[in-house]
Structure 1
Amino acid sequence: MTTETNQVTHHQGPRVLLVATGGSLAVGLTSAGVGALVAGSSAAVGALIGTALVVLVFAGGSFAVDEVARVMPAAALLVALLTYTLQVLAMGLAFVAISRSGVLDQTADRGWLAGAVIAGTAGWVVLQVALATRQRIPAYDLGPAAPRPTTARAGER
């Protein structure tokens, strides 16, 4: 004998990604504040640029993967791998563009930018993994409930 359960699936992906984004922003703003106190405004600007890079690249890619996983679960792994590759490429191109623009020589500190990217990425990954592992995601979908077969008792036909 089995017990029927009502399966209610709530899509928790956006909540996890919003918390991870908030955590990454908090780490970045904290590092910008510390940078401003310790090394001046160029450190704060560098940390803010690094934080903006992390949030834009990771949030954009993660929300795209989450949407694909919701609409077409079978394509989620392929899109996740492609998105990761594009995130690495986007981060590299952003660093090249920032270096060539002269911002790092004039108004932003290179070390604080790199530190904010590393700290923001670490904060993002830790929060996303911690929250995602606490979700109750079924290993498979049971589908709609099938009608129960009825058994006729003797004499009830």
Structure 2
Amino acid sequence: MLTTETRTRRVVMRAALVAAVAAVLLVLVAALAVGSSAAAGAAVGGAIAVGVFAFGSFAVELVSRVMPAASLLFAMLTYTFQVALMALLFVALHRSGLLDGALDSTWVGIAIILGAFVWMTVQIVLATTARIPAFEPRPAAPSEGGAR
């Protein structure tokens, strides 16, 4: 029997896998279309997208197990922090000078956007088709007085 925790973890893992495969395909397209700097940019962008979304999803899953009442608030905060973290990482790449030659900034952005859309699409499809109960039923209490 699968627990809610196992089902949720499978949804997150599948979303991460599909987003990673999309990132690898984008790296190949970038390498063939533009060259090595585009491929490197797509790889970095894909890693940022998959890493940030996976960390956020596992954090929300952990909080929903420990404190179910706080899970919606934590999920909303996590999403806000994910967007801010991706922006900060992009700014850090820009300030480091890597986007001036080693990485193609256009392909970094494309990979982040593609990763976000693929992640959301896969997670929505899997979450809506998975049979994850809204709550765990409590075990039945033994009847008072026992068998008669």
Q: How high is the TM-score relative to the length of structure 1?
A: 0.86
| Greater gyration radius | 1
Give TM-score scaled by structure 2 length.
Answer: 0.90
Aligned to 2:92: 97
For structure 1, the 5+ residue unaligned runs are 1-6
| The one of 15, 33, 37 aligned to 1:38 | 33
- Counterpart CA distance in 2 for 1:25 and 1:81 is 24
Q: Identify, as 1 or 2, the structure richer in helix.
A: 2
1:140 Cα offset (Å)? 3.8
- Equivalents in 2 of 1:75, 1:34: separation in Å? 42
Quick check: 1:132 aligned with 2:127? yes
**Alignment partner of 2:74 out of 79, 85, 89:** 79
For 2:31, give the aligned amino acid: A
Q: Any unmatched runs of 5+ in structure 2?
A: none
1:55 partner letter: V
Identity %: 48
Alignment of 1:5-44 (within 5 A): 9-11=3-5, 12-44=7-39
Q: Kindly provide the amino acid, as one letter, of the partner of residue 112 in structure 2.
A: V
Query: Which deviations, in whole Å up to 9, do the C-alpha atoms of 1:119-156 show, x marking residues without a partner?
Result: 1111101111111111223334431202246799xxx8
Distance 2:47 2:39 in 1: 12
Deviation track 1:37-66 (CA, whole Å, cap 9, x = no partner) reads 110001100100100110111111110001
Instruction: Specify the alignment match of 1:107 in structure 2.
Output: 102
Per the alignment, residue 65 of structure 1 pairs with 60
Give the aligned CA root-mean-square deviation in angstroms: 2.0
1:37 to 1:151, Cα distance in 2 relative to 1, 3 A: closer
